[in-house]
Amino acid sequence: MRFPFSIARSLAAAISLTIGAPALADALVDNVDGMTLAADGDVVRFNGIVIDGEGRIVKLLKRGDKRPEKLDWKADLKGRTVIPGMVDAHGHVMDLGFRALALDLSDTRSLAAAQDAIRRYAAENATRAWLTGGGWNQEVWALGRFPSAAELDAATGDRPAWFIRADGHAGWANSAAMKAAGITAATRAPAGGRIELVAGKPGGVFVDAAMALIEQAVPKPTPRDRNAAFLKAQTMLLSVGVTASADMGTTLEDWMTYRRMGDLGLLRMRVMSYAAGVDVALLVGGSGPTPWLYDDRLRMGGIKLYTDGALGSRGAWLKAPYADAPGNSGLPLQSDARLLNLISRGAMDGFQIAIHAIGDRANQQALDAIDEVSDTYNGDRRWRIEHAQIVDPADLPRFGRHGIIASMQPVHQTSDRMMAEARLGPARLDGAYAWKAMLGNGARLAFGSDYPVESANPFVGWAVAFTRQDGDGQPFGGWRPEQAVSREQAWRAFTTDAAYAGFAEKRFGHLAPGLRADFIVIDRDPLLASPADLRATGVLETWVGGVQVWRRGQAAAGEGR
């Protein structure tokens, strides 16, 4: 599937991001209102940064400290606020770019609005063989059910169309797409998947593993398309202050894209890659994690595994049936034996294991598996459980064992709270989105956004973490406010501990001598801003390794549309 813009223009625009930035050399970035967290969580204030020729910090300077006399270059930031680059502990880099370059339905508030958007998109892209995109959410539409193929047909006609749900765990196909994929009334869902039925026949929505039935027929992006998607995603992330991100579910094609970008000198951000399964990890790493490449900008150090789906599509695996769907307890994606086998295959070669678990039964399975393998694969493993959204209170203390990292996404709580109440009922939410309980039980907390499921803007997630409120300040006092963390704890989870979660804390994540000079210039003090003002934080400049890689007003040239 080709995108309607020139890859050459995108490459040229990406190269231009560092035009005007000083060449990497011994340098001083001075006259800043700087703040960072020390390794112990204390706030450190500074007014200048001395950077060596490798892009590492030599010293943080305070007011009155003697400035170096011999420098290759100096930047005066005129008293503006400087903080460490934000680290997203859980995102999907290529998905973000592809979503931005296709049709994004995340702003639609009704089925009719989505149909109108799809009609416009179809008319504007008349030469596309397939219509693709994502971001729809039947809960936001207040539909009370999944949309149907017939409703998508009304907007697309006879051109195949395939749109991914906001959580990435279900897809919506029209009749032409199902025909192209060979879907009939006799088609059965694979293990770990579900086909939603209408009048006893496939109705157009395919959940979790069943999505592959349609996706095998969708035209694959070309390497040029992938380059373009990465450049788009990178610009989006740098523009909101994300200088490093875990990439959860890197495919072999994704990895080759990152390597192309690195070889061309266009990899500006840092990517902590988690392979989409053991086989991809072994194809890329051979006998273990790759080294850090491109001056600490890329490494495949882990493997992403799944135990269940998502709450919105009722694929999250629960201990008891859904309150709003009796008889349905979700979709377990691995047997206990298979999960143990996959963990062992990766852990024996030194890969870090990150396990997607949303429902309380899925989290129990992940914890059970870690309990079983931790004696065999001991040492500093940093087992990760991704999302950990709905946890039985009885299982919460188990997150404090074996060095488990709770990799969670604050914005999921504000997006999901009403749906979670409907799916589970209030009595089963005591362990839901339980950030403070994770810390209290001794687990390391790493925050991210799960972009493009949610906005990649880390300042929104930061505000949610200590308020438990959405952008409208709702609910009053916060939803289950006893699980809020402090402002500084949330900042740590988006910086030092998000880097720690990727075995990168000795390279980046905060500002200190010996670490990479990754920082952002913002338009307000985030430690003094109100929650609403923190959400509205504007990034003025983004620096990675002592080089300015993005600044406000320049990114528009990089869109290439």
The Cα–Cα gap between 330 and 361 comes to: 9
CA distance 393 to 437: 9
Give me the sign of the Cα torsion angle 286, 290, 291, 297.
Answer: positive
Give the whole-angstrom CA distance, residue 250 versus residue 22. 33
Q: Report the C-alpha gap between 498 and 87 in whole angstroms.
A: 6
Buried-exposed string 405-425: b where 16+ CB fall within 10 A, e elsewhere = bbbbbbbbbbbbbeebbebbe
Phi, psi of 542 (to 5 degrees): -130, 125
Helix (H, G, I), strand (E, B) or coil at 450: coil
Q: Whole-prediction pTM value? A: 0.88
CB within 8 A of 390, min separation 6: which ones?
311, 316, 318, 358, 359, 360, 363, 420, 424, 428, 429, 431, 432
pLDDT of residue 554: 73
Residue 231 and residue 238 in contact, taking contact as beta carbons nearer than 8 Å = no
Distance, in Å, from the CA atom of 155 to the CA atom of 354, rounded to the nearest integer, reads 39
CA-atom Rg of the chain in angstroms? 23
Query: For residue 87, which of 548, 407, 357 has the smallest C-alpha distance?
Result: 407
- Composition of the chain by helix, strand, coil, percent to 5: 30, 25, 45
**Distance (Å, rounded) from C-alpha 511 to C-alpha 495?**
10
| Amino acid type, 53 | G
Instruction: Quick: pLDDT tens for 260-311.
Output: 999 999 999 999 999 999 999 999 999 999 999 999 999 999 999 999 999 9
How many alpha carbons fall within 13 Å on the CB side of residue 185?
A: 4
Per-residue pLDDT of the chain (561 residues; tens, 9 = 90+): 334 333 444 454 444 444 344 545 689 999 999 999 998 889 999 999 999 999 999 999 999 999 998 899 999 999 999 999 999 999 999 999 999 999 999 899 999 999 999 999 999 999 889 999 999 999 899 998 999 999 999 999 999 999 999 888 899 999 999 999 999 999 999 988 999 999 999 999 999 999 999 999 999 999 999 999 999 999 999 999 999 999 999 999 999 999 999 999 999 999 999 999 999 999 999 999 999 999 999 999 999 999 999 998 899 999 999 999 999 999 999 999 999 999 999 999 999 999 999 999 999 999 999 999 999 999 999 999 999 999 999 999 999 999 999 999 999 999 999 999 999 999 999 999 999 999 999 999 999 999 999 999 999 999 999 999 999 999 999 999 999 999 999 999 999 999 999 999 999 999 999 999 999 999 999 999 999 999 999 999 999 999 999 999 874 333 322
The burial class, CB within 10 Å (0-12 / 13-18 / 19+), for 385 is buried
Please tell me the distance from the alpha carbon of residue 221 to that of residue 218, in angstroms, as a whole number: 9
Among 314, 347, 349, smallest CA distance to 329 is for 314
Using alpha carbons, select from 552, 34, 526, 542 the residue that is nearest to residue 241.
542
DSSP per residue over 126-179, as a string?
A: TT-SSEEEEEE-TTTTT-SS---HHHHHHHHTTS-EEEEETTSSEEEE-HHHHH
